[in-house]
Amino acid sequence: DVKVTQSSRYLVKRTGEKVFLECVQDMDHENMFWYRQDPGLGLRLIYFSYDVKMKEKGDIPEGYSVSREKKERFSLILESASTNQTSMYLCASSLVGLNTEAFFGQGTRLTVV
């Protein structure tokens, strides 16, 4: 079974803090993704990576950066957390190729106060 593990289930951070969300997958997947889920807005893509050290902006990259130094690990960084970044953050991974599905981690509920 594919396993995508996010480092925290729940986080509470203060405004202005630098926040790191970590994600590890164990199936040697090339692609990794960070989404956020908000009520009424669905899952919105923040960043994705199709290889080590490669990254591409998704639909809402502002206020975020990412790091992929190893194939199995994809980190999302909130440079200076703000209250509008309170959300559920979801990491996913997938194989490269036709007709493959993404596998998700359990999510991190981040609250910025």
Partner 1 sequence: DQQVKQNSPSLSVQEGRISILNCDYTNSMFDYFLWYKKYPAEGPTFLISISSIKDKNEDGRFTVFLNKSAKHLSLHIVPSQPGDSAVYFCAASASRPGTYKYIFGTGTRLKVLA
Q: Is residue 11 close enough to count as binding partner 1 by CB under 8 A? A: no
CB of 7 to partner 1, least distance (A): 14
- 16 vs 29, which CB is nearer to partner 1? 29
Locate 51 and state its tokens: 């290889």
Q: Which of 11, 22, 58, 73 binds partner 1 (CB under 8 A)?
A: 58
- In sign, the C-alpha dihedral spanning 62, 59, 74, 87 is positive
User: What distance in Å separates the CA atoms of residue 68 and residue 76, rounded to the nearest whole number?
Assistant: 9
Tell how strand 10-13 and strand 108-112 pair up: parallel
Site residues (vs partner 1, CB under 8 A)? 4, 9, 31, 33, 35, 40-45, 48, 50, 56, 58, 90, 92, 94, 96, 98-99, 101-107, 109
